[in-house]
Structure 1
Amino acid sequence: MKRSLQGKLIFSYLVVALITVLVVSALIRLTSGQSLMNLVVEQQTASLKEAVQTYYAANGSLDDFIEYYTQFNPGGAPNSAQQPGNPPQQQQPNQSHDIRGLHGLVDTQYRALLPTLGYDVGQIVPADKVQNAVAVEVDGKTVAWILPDTKFQFKLNSEEELFLQRTTLAIGLAALAGVLVAVGMGFFLSRRLIKPIRRLTQASQALSSGDLQQQVPVTSQDELGQLTTTFNTMSADLFKADQQRKRMTADITHDLSTPLQIISGYIEMLEGGEVTLTPKRIEIIKTEIEHLRRLVGDLTTLSQVEAGGLEIQLAPVQLPDLLERVYLAYQPIAARQGVEIKLDCAQELPVIRIDEGRMLQVLKNLVENALRYTPQGGEIRLGAELQADHIQISVRDSGAGIDAEDLPYVFDRFYRADKSRGGSSGKMGLGLAICKALVTAQGGTISAESAGKDQGTTMTLTFSIASGG
């Protein structure tokens, strides 16, 4: 039979409550009887001590104490018919006087003042039997010893037995109440505990069915709350990845189908004799083939970086020389577009360890992006500077800029370039994704900054000098 988690929790609460109640009840029942007997012994000892002190103070000795004590009321006050210091009256002694819990009374010479441990009044009680005795003092002087029953070999009277019975009944009622409260608390706590788990279960089932937009309310800050937060993050990441996958499929289909349609169209026309193969048409076909080759190459590069299969050869590199090469390569292109490109790099920068070829690929991609989005009369500034224990390389332009809503996504591999800054592969937007992958593979970071549309963009690469050579 399948049991729910709520049933298991309630059952566990009930078991714990029962065990606790049974143990506590047993301990209280055992200790209550012991405590009651201790109380009887203490009361009897106190009563006898009071009688001895009263008699000794009045008579100066304990001679004939038994005659006085037999007239001593159980309540602890001497009988009015026999006061200390008065001659004994001829009356029947009160033999019913309760001395339960006491073995007897001896004087300082161990003579029995009351029947003690089988010894009659006046007989000497052996010293080895006078143990755990309680001293009776008058004016700081010990005048007698009381022998309490430390083994509790006496019986409780009817009133004391009734008290124990009532105590046992109270313990039983308390145990029953404790069990009922435990069951009630079990229902309450288990419902509170199970509710978020059921929400997570339902959301997980929906997630497995393909509904990736699942967000569960976080109702606590404990482990369940952390689990719910993690689930929400995972669900959001899955949804984002699914959206990227769908965009990837659409973009790849578009970027592959367009050049393929152009190439296949020319081939069909050539086969039908509609056109002839001219150098211009061959150049168009070669351009489309090159576009396909670059697209496949970019995808392959990204896959290799993610799989850790891309070979990165780190070596000491002088940044000023590297940036100058990029500057000289793109200066003529920028001049033809009416864009001014500037080099702003100090010559005394420390050497850093990077892959020179891969870094050239990154910088060329960033400069090409800047040229693509910088209008005539604009400016591109290529620079590097030392910041504490880091070196920052920047490509800054005065071009179209990037909207604030697009900035967090410009390095996503499938973020469409018609919404933001794209790369060298058309609408696929793989250029910046490749830049990020290559920079990360070399131990650096890359970030984008822009004040908004038509406010220009700055791409910043950061490398630690600690990794320098």
Structure 2
Amino acid sequence: MKLLTRSLRLNLVLGFALSCLVGLLVFGILAHNVALDSYRQTVHQNLVNTYAENALRYYQQNGTWEGVDPGPGEGGGQGGGQPGGGPAGGPDGQRGAEGQGGPPQGQNPQGQNPQGGQGRDDPQKGMRPAKHLGILDTQNRVVSKTEVYPMGQQLDLKDLLFTKTLLVNGKVVGTAFEDPGAGASSPNQQAMINVINQTILMAGVIGLALSILLGAAMAGQLTRPLERLTVAVRSLKFGKQQEPVKEQGTDEVAVLTRAFNQMSDQLVKAEVQRRQMIADIAHDLGTPLTVASGYVQSMQQGKLAATQERLEVVYDELLLLQNLVDDLRLLSLADAGMLTLSLDLIAPEMLLKGIQKAFAFRAEKQNIRLTVQTDADLPEIRLDFERMRQVLGNLVNNALHYTPDGGEIRLLAKRTDGGVLLQVQDTGVGIPAEKLPYIFERFYRVDETRSPENGGGSGLGLAIARSIVELHGGKISAQSVIRQGTTISILALA
């Protein structure tokens, strides 16, 4: 059993062989039985037909069934019929062939009478029946004695296995039959059985050999892609980058290969992003810590005086550090599914007007118009008000960073199938098309020069927005055109 669990190829080959063997056994048994039954029926029917031909000759010569086949133990002289049916007077009293008998009473096998005179042709030549053969008259009464049925017994033709209607000039004169107890076995029949058995055995051996060869070929074809996948998995396990595994066909193995290639590609990207994220976290955490610790150390050593301005710099750096830590904690909770929502029915217009009010002073200071546009009779949407304010506030904050003076930011709410579409549109610088798919990744910055220390964000805002929106069951997406602006859409929040 251990061997079977170690090799899929061996399992497949043995499975093919076993299936073929079972099929061949079933086929062999059925073929043997059908062929043997057909052969037996043919033999027995031929015996009845031969006996019927002899009986007709007797009836045509005599016009009656009287005296036909006196039966075993009857008649005098050398020519009396024998139960086995061989010509009388033979060496052992046995018949030479089934269905044929010896001459009538009073004649020797050469048709001569005991006194040596030349007699007429034996009208019953070939009529001595086997013990299961007999003749019925037109009333289905036995007129030819057998070992099973006595003379004169009336039979039902339905009870007989093999029959042959006897016709003379188109008129039914009787029926030749073989009784149901017939089960003759002859050397010819045994030889036929041996031929059938040998043929089936030879076919089984050839079929089994072919099934093993075919199974080996098919097993190799099935397991070869799996072997390639195994090598690729082992390489991936040790962190080695590799070429995609070649896909062949459209079967389940090809689907598995395609899925593995996609997973491998995603793992490689995730590893690159993980390393980049660690570097970004170290950088974003290190910079404010370095600034704050430098000021504190200098003031502690008396090199700098602890002025209000310098204390405010330290405080700002620590606040930046605190915000970054809070963002990371929020993302970790969202990833772990531990970020809880307090859902309420909120009017979209109220939500957007609250955001407008919060950023109105800053927008006015930058000479940017901040407007709200909503469809009439919008349904209320179920969401966490504070979390969604955080998402929309982050989007508006980004738009204010990248929209020049005299530009416009529009907060929109539109009715859609099954929900409400919230949008933040700006007339800013836009996002390059090649960077648009990555803006919701963590620590990704469209402008890599804008880090927290020089006025940029941490690169976590849009990643947090996506996590919160998806936690609501919604979807966030972005469209942008360079020098025309960007639109961030939040879909299906109802």
- Same fold per TM (> 0.5)? yes
| Residues 288-303 of structure 1 mapped to structure 2, 5 A cutoff | 288-303=317-332
Q: Which amino acid aligns with 2:23?
A: T
In structure 2, C-alpha distance between the alignment counterparts of 1:258 and 1:369, rounded to whole Å: 22
Q: Deviations over 1:184-234 (max 9, x none)?
A: 012111111211221222122122222365632332433323333332333
- Look up the match of 1:14: 17
Equivalent residue in structure 2 for 1:107, among 131, 137, 143: 137
Corresponding position of 1:429: 459
Q: Higher mean Cα deviation, 49-58 or 257-266?
A: 49-58
Alignment partner of 1:246 is 2:249: no
Q: CA distance change for structure 1 residues 309 and 115 in 2, over 3 Å: closer, same or farther?
A: same
1:323 Cα offset (Å): 1.6
The alpha-carbon distance between structure 1 residues 419 and 48, as it changes in their structure 2 partners (threshold 3 A), is: farther
Report the residue type matching 1:447 in the other structure. S
Matched-pair contact (CA < 8 Å) for 2:142–2:153 = yes
1:340-371 Cα distance to aligned partner (Å, 9 max, x none): 22222246322222222222211111111001
Q: 1:40 pairs with 43, 55, 58, which one? A: 43
Please give the TM-score of this superposition, normalised by the length of structure 2.
0.79
Tell me, what secondary structure is at the counterpart of 2:492? strand
Secondary structure of 1:450's match? strand
Residue equivalent to 1:306: 335
Matched, 1:150 2:180: yes
Residues 251 and 427, structure 1, Cα contact 8 Å, conserved in 2: no
TM superposition outliers: structure 1 runs of 4+ over 6 Å: 420-425
Paired residue for 1:124?
Answer: 152
Deviation at 1:292, TM superposition (A): 0.4
Distance 1:140 1:407, change over 3 A: farther
Question: Given that residues 369 and 423 in structure 1 are in contact (C-alpha distance below 8 angstroms), is that contact kept between their aligned partners in structure 2?
Answer: no
**Alignment CA distance shift 1:40-1:199 (3 Å):** same
Distance 1:245 1:426, change over 3 A: farther
Does 2:233 match 1:230? no
Worse overlay, 315-324 or 43-52: 43-52
Matches within 5 A, 1:22-421: 22-49=25-52, 61-63=64-66, 90-91=120-121, 102-109=132-139, 112-117=142-147, 123-125=151-153, 127=155, 131-132=159-160, 134=163, 136=165, 138=167, 142-158=172-188, 160-211=189-240, 213=242, 215-346=244-375, 348-418=377-447
Structure 1 pair 359/128, CA: closer, same or farther in 2 (3 Å)?
Answer: closer
Tell me how far apart the structure 2 counterparts of residues 420 and 224 of structure 1 sit (CA, whole Å): 46
Conserved? CA contact 2:407–2:426, under 8 Å: yes
How many residue pairs get aligned? The number is 450
428-437 or 93-102, larger mean C-alpha shift: 93-102
What residue identity is the alignment partner of 1:28?
A
Decide whether the 8 Å contact of 1:422 with 1:431 is kept in 2. Answer: no
Cα deviation 1:89-121 (Å, max 9, x = unaligned): 71457856796695211223555544423678x
The code of the aligned residue for 1:334 comes to A
SS, match of residue 429 in structure 1? coil
Q: Aligned equivalents of 2:128 and 2:280: distance in 1?
A: 106
Question: Please, which runs of 5 or more residues in structure 2 have no aligned partner?
Answer: 71-85, 88-96, 100-110, 112-117
Matched AA of 2:287:
T
Structure 1: any 5+ residue segments left out of the alignment? Answer: 77-81, 83-87
CA–CA distance in structure 2, aligned partners of residues 310 and 119 of structure 1: 98
Contact 1:40-1:101 at 8 Å conserved across structures:
no
